[in-house]
Amino acid sequence: MQVAIVTGASSGIGFGCATKLAEQGMAVLGTGRDAERLGDLERAVGDPERIATIAVDLTTDDGPRQIVDAAIARWGRIDFLINNAGVGKPKPLHETDDESLDYFLGLMLRAPFRLAREAVVHMQPGSAIINITSTFAVVGGLRGGAYSAAKGGLTSLTRHIACQYGPQGIRCNAVAPGVTLTPMVASRLEDSRFRKINTEMTPYPRLGEVNDIASTVAFLCSEGASFINGQEIVVDGGWTSTKYLSDFALNSEWVES
């Protein structure tokens, strides 16, 4: 039985990835900071032989090792690592203080780096690491600030791992979601400016859903993706790769703000 570690698995994209991989027959170790919410994941999978969780702060010095040790102690192997844990609501460069900078980089770049470093020594040929980045790692993004910096660094880390460990049969790819309907995004969609930027500039007629990302991750863990390495797959309905504007945006009257 293959074993996957999924960080940030208590909600949103991480929860979707964990349940999707479990549905495909894998054993999953889900991590997060809230033990009660991780209990929801255990109940959703419903098979104690294939699900375990660990409540841990990834940014602590011993957090990554605790996670890897838990997977090895439970199942004796690690086949897939899904670095998903993240946080939103960044600020632009000039509004970002050092505390916020350190937090974003610590959670979304330093922690995945350290967790991959701990996990890769246990991985055998056919294993893979998948890093969840962002469209803001592709285009920079207004108000991206430390978030864009962290996710961009994670993209570069992805390519390094792919190059360094590919000869051992260990792949590494990134999945870059666009705006995806999760609890973290729900409040931001109440901001009309944020909503317009995403809905009126996406050529596909809906926003992203958790299953869109989870299905892409599941594919990258499958035999069908065994020759995909060092890639960043953008899942955003065409937001980053087109100059699309909706009819509403094109035909609206523009006024100075």
List the domain boundaries for the chain.
3-181+207-240
Q: Answer yes or no: 204 catalytic.
A: no
Please report the pLDDT score of residue 25 as a whole number. 96
H/E stretch holding 161 reads helix 145-165
Out of 147, 165, 204, 244, pick the active-site residue: 147
Cα separation, 213 vs 58, in Å, equals 22
Cα separation, 113 vs 120, in Å, equals 11
Q: Which residues pair with 232 in a beta bridge?
A: 174
Strand order from edge to edge, sheet including 232-235: 51-55, 27-32, 3-6, 80-83, 128-132, 171-177, 232-235
H/E stretch holding 128 reads strand 128-132
Packing angle of the helix pair 98-105, 145-165 (nearest 10 deg): 30
Fold type of domain 3-181+207-240: Rossmann fold (3.40.50)
Please report the pLDDT score of residue 257 as a whole number. 60
Could you list the mean pLDDT of each consecutive 10-residue stretch along the chain, which spans 257 residues?
97 97 97 96 96 97 98 98 91 93 97 98 98 93 89 98 98 95 76 83 92 98 98 96 90 75
Please report the pLDDT score of residue 35 as a whole number. 94
